[in-house]
Amino acid sequence: MHIMEGFLPLEHALGWSVASAPFLAYGLYAVRRDVQQHPERRMLLGVAAAFSFLLSALKLPSVTGSCSHPTGVGLGALLFGPWVMVPIAFVVLLFQALLLAHGGLTTLGANLFAMGIVGPFCAYAVFRLARALGLPLVAGVFLAACLGDLATYLMTSVQLAWAFPDPVGGFVGSLTKFGGIFALTQIPLAISEGLLTVLVMNALQRFNQEEMRGMHLLQPAKARA
């Protein structure tokens, strides 16, 4: 998913950076507010960041100029909400670009929009819908992590198709090609990420009961309403 350094045209790179900036600004406020209100959750915040960093660093070759890998953003989105994941994803992507040559600085805005904004917000929306429909917590976590991962790659496909439309099929033709190539590796990875996120969530509920107590995630939909 990480679009490599210098791959996007300058106007696209700048445009995605501008689009991501307001989300990042409010996300920083959300992190500060959450830490001030619940300082005991700092460790869980670190777990969410480490989970995303490790999973998204496991890259596989895919589309030219990009790659396939899990994203890990679903866990943090479910624990803290999607806004908190925006600055976490920014730090993850920045460190990966600087230390692992994974992604890039010029494409940081585009990568952040896909992995740090679209992915977490989709995961959170899917989870809330699953709980509103009465699905078990495990099913909601799995669907949220899996579909949040796939939404990230759909967004990356849109970004690449917009920057490099097909000479014959245009944007739609290019989107079909990028999305089809991503799907070969990403669908199995998304399913695996969903299963892993369920395992991690179960472990957190078992060993971090004090920190998890009171989180909206653990409350039934009727109780939240």
Shortest CA distance to 3 belongs to which of 136, 130, 97, 81?
Answer: 97
pLDDT at residue 163, as a whole number: 95
pLDDT at residue 212, as a whole number: 75
* C-alpha span between 9 and 156 (Å, rounded): 14
Sequence-ordered alpha helix ranges (H) in 38-118: 42-56, 73-80, 82-99, 108-111
pLDDT at residue 217, as a whole number: 64
- Quickly name the fold that domain 10-214 has: Arp2/3 complex 21 kDa subunit ARPC3 (1.10.1760)
* C-alpha span between 57 and 183 (Å, rounded): 19
Q: What is the pTM of this model?
A: 0.90
pLDDT at residue 101, as a whole number: 83
Tell me the backbone φ, ψ of residue 8, rounded to 5 degrees: -80, 145
Question: Tokens 């960041």 — which residue?
Answer: 49
3-state secondary structure (DSSP) of residue 67: strand
Question: CB-based burial of residue 125 (10 Å sphere; 0-12 exposed, 13-18 middle, 19+ buried)?
Answer: middle
* C-alpha span between 115 and 113 (Å, rounded): 6
Which conformational region is residue 66 in: left (phi greater than 0), alpha (psi within -120 to 50 degrees), or beta?
Answer: beta
* C-alpha span between 131 and 52 (Å, rounded): 23
HEC per residue, 4-45: CCCCCCHHHHHHHHHHHHHHHHHHHHHHHHHHHHCHHHHHHH
Q: How many residues does the chain have?
A: 225
pLDDT at residue 181, as a whole number: 86
pLDDT at residue 224, as a whole number: 45
The domain segmentation of the chain, as residue ranges, is: 10-214
pLDDT at residue 206, as a whole number: 85
pLDDT at residue 59, as a whole number: 75
* C-alpha span between 82 and 27 (Å, rounded): 8
Average pLDDT across each block of 10 residues of the chain; the chain has 225 residues. List them in order.
88 97 97 91 91 86 71 94 96 92 92 96 96 93 96 94 94 92 88 95 84 65 46
